């Protein structure tokens, strides 16, 4: 078990405290948290909720790679990446990324890098539910 990285994919509510408590440590003066939450509007339509599906084994691998890149590129000491699956309601947390670094600047950079990479490469899919139907986000040209 690598104690620099905490990866979680779960159908249960995500915990900011759990991510923060994992990354906090005596050598780091900066912690940056990104929280992605479910909003109620997209492309001028009312969204009722989202549903996330994951290829869990591969998603965990890809999330570990991103966390390792945060260590290498930004000297992150600890990285937590947690992602929800299943039905996620408006305002609930879909993803949390927490990074600790010695100084704040790299914490901001690593956090942004991690969420951008996650959206590019981690095999997780989101179905958006509207008042009158649903569709897989990003799937159509």
Binding site for other proteins (CB under 8 A): 36, 52-55, 57-59, 61, 83, 94-95, 115, 118-127, 136-141
**Which residue, 107 or 114, has its beta carbon nearer to other proteins?**
114
Q: How far is the CB of 47 from other proteins (least distance, A)?
A: 14
Burial class (CB in 10 A: 0-12, 13-18, 19+), 41: exposed
Give the nearer residue to other proteins in terms of CB position, either 47 or 102: 47
Counting Cβ atoms within 10 Å, is residue 80 exposed (0-12), middle (13-18) or buried (19+)? buried
CA atoms within 13 A of residue 58's CA, in its CB half-sphere: 8
Tokens of 45: 């339509």
* Residue closest to 84 by CA, chosen among 133, 130, 125, 137: 125
Taking the complex as a whole, how short is the minimal distance between the CB of residue 131 and other proteins, in angstroms?
A: 20
- Least distance between other proteins and beta carbon 7 (Å): 13
Nearer to other proteins, 48 or 121 (CB): 121
CB of 16 to other proteins, least distance (A): 16
Q: How far apart are CA 124 and CA 95, in angstroms?
A: 11
In terms of CB distance, is 25 or 37 closer to other proteins? 37
């Amino acid at each position: 078990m690598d104690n620099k990285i905490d990866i979680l994919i779960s159908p249960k509510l995500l915990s900011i405290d759990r991510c923060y408590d994992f990354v906090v440590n005596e050598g780091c003066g900066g912690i940056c948290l990104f929280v992605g939450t479910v909003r109620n509007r997209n492309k001028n339509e009312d969204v009722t909720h989202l549903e996330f599906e994951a290829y869990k084994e591969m998603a965990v691998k890809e999330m570990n790679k991103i966390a390792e890149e945060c260590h290498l590129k930004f000297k992150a000491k600890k990285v937590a990446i947690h992602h929800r699956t299943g039905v996620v309601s408006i305002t609930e947390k879909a993803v949390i990324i927490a990074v600790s670094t010695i100084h704040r600047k790299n914490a901001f950079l690593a956090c942004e890098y991690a969420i951008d990479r996650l959206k590019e490469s981690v095999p997780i899919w989101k179905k958006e539910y509207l008042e009158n139907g649903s569709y897989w986000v990003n799937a159509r040209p």
